[in-house]
Structure 1
Amino acid sequence: MNAVTHDSSLDADARAAVTIGRPADELRTLWLRPDTQSRIWSHFADVTPIDERTAEWVAHGPAGGEYRWRTELAAGGTNELRWSSSDGADVANAGVLVFQPAPGDRGTELHLDVRFDPPGGPLGQALSKLFHLVPREIVLKALYKFRALALTGEIPTTDPQPAARKGGTDR
């Protein structure tokens, strides 16, 4: 994300942005729906809403490892959402999602910044890269899934289509 167009107080490890042809209030409402987070982060973790502000996350890591944490939404303005993990999280993290008007009245720009603190310090970071769990890719994929959901009402997938080769009957 370009620092000229977005100034965040979060020192992010992962930054991504996407433009969606919908108004910001509609996108904010969709993001906050209980089922949205579990759908857009499914490539990274299982997300279970606890209440309106809290969710339980379970990510499956290399060698069968399982990492758990809770996130809680913080108070924020109408143009942003902030969250952070609770104390004792296996993967400490914090994030901010900012909604800005897109140029040319083309909808809304979403800027997502997330900071991950993988388990094991430098070793955990090396393992993350080795197993292709790169934070920017995780964040970017979540935004693309959210855009698809916002524009079409669904997230496209190749599972379990027979010709998709992954999980299909044509192995």
Structure 2
Amino acid sequence: MARSEHPDDIERDDAPAFTSKDGAERGEAAPNGESSVSGVAVTINRPAGELYAYWRDFQNLATFMQNVQAIEVHDRDRSHWTVAGPNGQYEWDAIVTEDVDGERIGWRAENSDVPNSGWVSFHEAAPGRGTVVTSMIAYSPLAGIFGKLVAKVTQKEPAIQSRRDLRRFKQLMETGEIATTTPPNREPKS
């Protein structure tokens, strides 16, 4: 481990910068200068290539991303997104900035009220253990810290949503369905 410049000789580990409690270090993970960065990882019991292929067909993302209302794919590297936010609908054009077949997809938004960028990676876990899927999103919320607080209260903050979306992706890829806690519509028992 490398020595840190932090007080009390705290040593840094090799965890991704987006996991840091240090805001400056976490900010280094934002590829386009966004103010908020969040990352999450989950292990899915499927091959990396299969997960990558499902994700790379961007229209599939609306099947498990709760706030995504529509994705119009223009070509392999450009798509238009419509997403529900804390105070209405947001739209932007997403541009693929990195595409490593079977391993990683990166993007950045253009023409967006909420600047954002990020990536998702797919790495085989230990033999027989599936694939580690890691997602990082960087964004600048409208109205700064106040906008981020409103997004958290309404449960539409990207850090909250990315955890939930990856959990739903895991369920969908491992079982073919997404579990819900919503009770079925039933007639009351008499």
Please give the TM-score of this superposition, normalised by the length of structure 2.
Answer: 0.72
Q: Which of the residues 18, 29, 47 maps onto 2:53?
A: 29
Pick the aligned partner of 2:14 from 4, 24, 39. 4
Stretches of structure 2 lacking an aligned partner (at least 5 in a row): 1-12, 19-27, 31-35
CA distance in 2, matches of 1:15, 1:96: 9
Cα distance in 1 for partners of 2:105, 2:158 equals: 19
Alignment CA distance shift 1:57-1:153 (3 Å): same
Checking the alignment, whether the CA contact within 8 Å between 1:13 and 1:135 is kept in structure 2 is: no
| Partner in structure 2 of residue 127 of structure 1 | 150
Unaligned runs of 5+ in 1: 164-168
2:122 alignment counterpart: 99
User: Which residue number in structure 1 is paired with residue 37 of structure 2?
Assistant: 13
Q: 74, 77, 86: which is aligned to 1:53?
A: 77
Q: How many residues align?
A: 161
Higher relative contact order at CA 8 Å, sep ≥6: structure 1 or structure 2? 1
Say which one has the larger Rg: 2
Residues 122/7 of structure 1: CA separation in 2 closer, same or farther (3 Å cut): closer
Q: What is the alpha-carbon root mean square deviation over aligned residues? A: 2.6
- Separation (CA, whole Å) in 1 of partners of 2:184 and 2:78: 34
Question: Where does residue 68 of structure 1 map in the other structure?
Answer: 91
Q: TM-score, normalised by structure 1?
A: 0.79
Distance 1:112 1:62, change over 3 A: closer
